[in-house]
Amino acid sequence: MGLPDHHLTEGEQRIRAFRPHWKRLVVPLLALILIIAGSSAAIFFMPAFEYDAYARIAVAVIAVGLLTVWSFVPYVQWKNTSYVLTSHRLTISTGVLNKSNDDIPMSKVNTVSADQTLMGRILGCGTLNVESAGEQGHITLRDIPHIQDVRAELFRALDDASDGDP
């Protein structure tokens, strides 16, 4: 997931690979259920009239369009977003048709902080803020699962990189 082994540099080890927390899929799942239930009810309870077949087809086409926009696209975006923490860098990979990969070398990371809401604490996820000396300066990664474990592993990787023992 995210960074294939053949893209790792010599001596670089994968510490953790993960994608955003599954809670990002709750709203698309609810949309899926509501759209299917609503369109099925509309098709089933539609009264008979001269153009009822066309009306049923129109309902189905609208339902497929809504499912695509509100359920399928968010799922594919979630599935194609990955974070890989290695001994040398943090890689952020996003995109479905156009891929975007951002690498933050451990030597450039200045500050790491984690924020969790009450719901995030219950679900074990949160927001990871990474400040680096690079061009972007500040990167916010939302809905990171097992945020405290990721933060601890990131700190260990930072300590190893600063000691010169990656």
Q: What is the pLDDT of residues 130-159, one digit of tens each?
A: 998 867 678 899 999 999 999 999 999 988
The alpha-carbon radius of gyration of the chain (Å, integer) is 22
Tokens for 82? 């990955």
| Alpha carbons 132 and 144: distance in angstroms, whole number | 19
For the cut 80, the answer to whether the pLDDT of residue 165 exceeds it is no
For the cut 90, the answer to whether the pLDDT of residue 162 exceeds it is no
Buried b / exposed e over 14-23, threshold 16 CB at 10 Å, is: ebeebbbbee
Higher pLDDT, 48 or 138: 48
- The residue to which tokens 């000691």 are assigned: 163
Give me the CATH topology for the region 5-20+81-163. Answer: PH-domain like (2.30.29)
- Which of 19-23, 109-113, 144-148 is predicted with the least confidence, judged by mean pLDDT? 109-113
Among 136, 19, 145, which residue's Cα sits nearest to residue 77?
19
Beta-carbon neighbour count of residue 128 at 10 Å?
21
For the cut 70, the answer to whether the pLDDT of residue 164 exceeds it is no
Domain boundaries, the chain: 5-20+81-163, 25-77
Q: Is the dihedral of CA 83, 87, 158, 162 positive or negative?
A: negative
